[in-house]
C-alpha cells in the first residue's frame, strides 16, 4: 500500500509506492534528493498531490534515477577525446589538401615555364622593328635555312665548322650574336637536360664576373630551347646582363645571345632581335 513521505528540504508530504521504501528519489515539489523510509506513516489527511517536478503516477511506476558525477566526468572526458581525435583528423586532412594544392601549383608553374608557344609557319609576318627611325634593321640569311634581324649591318666569321654572326651596337644597345656549331648535343634534349656553366657563359664577355640569375627550358617539337640569363656588375660599365637561347637539332647547335646594360634587357629592341629568329619557317623564340 502507499506510504507517506515528507521532504526534508521543503517539508512537503506526498504518497509513494511502498516498493520505493529505503530508496532515494527526488521530491516531486522541489526536486531535491530524499530517502523514503520504510517506517513512514500511512497516508494521512495532509498530503502533497499534483507535484510540478514529478507526477505521482511516474513515482509509482519506477525509481527516479540519481545523477552520478563520476559518470558525467567520464562522459565529458570521452567526448573531449573524441573531439580531439576529430580535430586532429581534420587538421591532417587539411594539411594534406594544402600540400597537394601547393604541389599542383608548383607543377603547373613548372609546366608553364617549359611550354613553348606553337611555332609559326613560313608565312610569318613580323611587326615593324622598333625604333626604325633610329636603327637600320637588317635581315641576315644564314646557312641551314635560318635568319634573324639585326639593328645594323652584321658581321660574319667562320672557323672549324662554326658560323658566328655578331654585331657590337655600342653602349646604346649592346652586343648581338648568333653562333651555329656543326656539332650535336642531344643530351640537351632530355627532360632533365642541363647546360654546363661553361656552355652557358660561352661567347659572353667578362663572363667570369657574371653569374647565372635564371635558367629555364622551353620545349619544342623534338628539341628543347634553353634560356639562360646572366647578371652582374662590370667595372666601368655597371649592371650588365646577358640573355642566351641555346638548342641543338639536326646535328647543329644554335646560340642566340644579347649582352648589354641590365636596364635594356627587357627593351623592345632586344625582344625583337630574339623574336625575329626563324629556322625552317618557324620562330621558336617567339614566346
Instruction: State the CB neighbour count (10 A cutoff) for residue 46.
Output: 8
Torsion of the alpha carbons at 276, 281, 285 and 287, rounded to the nearest 10:
100
> Residue 48 has what pLDDT?
46
> What predicted TM-score, i.e. pTM, was given to this entire model?
0.57
| Domains defined for the chain, CATH in brackets | 3-61 (no CATH), 138-279 (3.40.1000.10)
Which parts of the chain sit beneath pLDDT 50? Answer: 44-64, 112-123
DSSP letter for each residue of 250-269: TTEEEEEEEEEEGGGTTSHH
**Beta-carbon contacts of residue 154 (< 8 Å; ≥ 6 apart):** 138, 140, 165, 166, 167, 176
**Cell triple for residue 197?**
656553366
Q: What is the pLDDT of residues 131-158, one digit of tens each?
A: 888 888 989 988 778 899 999 889 999 8
> Residue 120 has what pLDDT?
41
Amino acid at each position: 500500500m502507499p506510504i507517506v513521505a515528507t521532504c526534508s528540504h521543503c517539508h512537503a508530504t506526498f504518497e509513494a509506492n511502498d516498493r520505493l521504501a529505503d530508496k532515494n528519489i527526488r521530491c516531486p515539489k522541489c526536486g531535491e534528493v530524499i530517502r523514503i523510509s520504510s517506517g513512514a506513516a500511512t497516508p494521512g489527511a495532509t498530503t502533497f498531490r499534483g507535484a510540478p517536478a514529478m507526477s505521482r503516477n511516474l513515482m509509482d511506476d519506477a525509481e527516479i534515477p540519481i545523477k552520478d558525477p563520476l559518470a558525467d566526468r567520464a562522459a565529458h572526458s570521452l567526448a573531449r577525446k573524441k573531439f580531439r581525435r576529430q580535430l586532429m583528423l581534420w587538421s591532417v586532412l587539411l594539411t594534406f589538401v594544402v600540400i597537394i594544392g601547393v604541389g599542383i601549383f608548383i607543377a603547373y608553374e613548372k609546366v608553364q615555364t617549359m611550354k613553348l608557344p606553337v611555332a609559326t609557319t613560313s608565312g610569318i609576318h613580323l611587326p615593324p622593328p622598333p625604333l626604325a627611325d633610329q636603327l637600320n634593321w637588317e635581315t641576315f640569311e644564314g646557312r641551314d635555312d635560318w635568319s634573324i634581324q639585326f639593328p645594323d649591318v652584321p658581321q660574319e666569321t667562320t672557323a672549324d665548322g662554326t658560323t658566328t654572326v655578331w654585331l657590337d651596337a655600342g653602349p646604346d644597345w649592346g652586343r648581338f650574336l648568333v653562333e651555329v656549331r656543326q656539332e650535336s648535343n642531344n643530351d640537351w634534349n632530355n627532360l632533365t637536360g642541363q647546360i654546363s656553366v661553361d656552355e652557358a657563359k660561352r661567347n659572353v664577355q667578362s663572363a667570369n664576373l657574371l653569374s647565372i640569375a635564371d635558367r629555364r627550358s622551353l620545349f619544342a617539337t623534338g628539341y628543347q630551347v634553353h634560356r639562360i640569363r646572366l647578371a652582374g656588375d662590370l667595372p666601368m660599365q655597371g649592371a650588365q646582363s646577358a640573355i642566351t637561347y641555346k638548342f641543338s637539332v639536326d646535328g647543329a647547335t644554335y646560340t642566340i645571345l644579347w649582352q648589354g646594360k641590365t636596364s635594356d634587357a627587357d627593351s623592345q629592341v632586344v625582344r625583337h632581335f630574339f623574336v625575329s629568329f626563324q629556322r625552317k619557317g618557324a620562330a621558336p623564340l617567339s614566346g
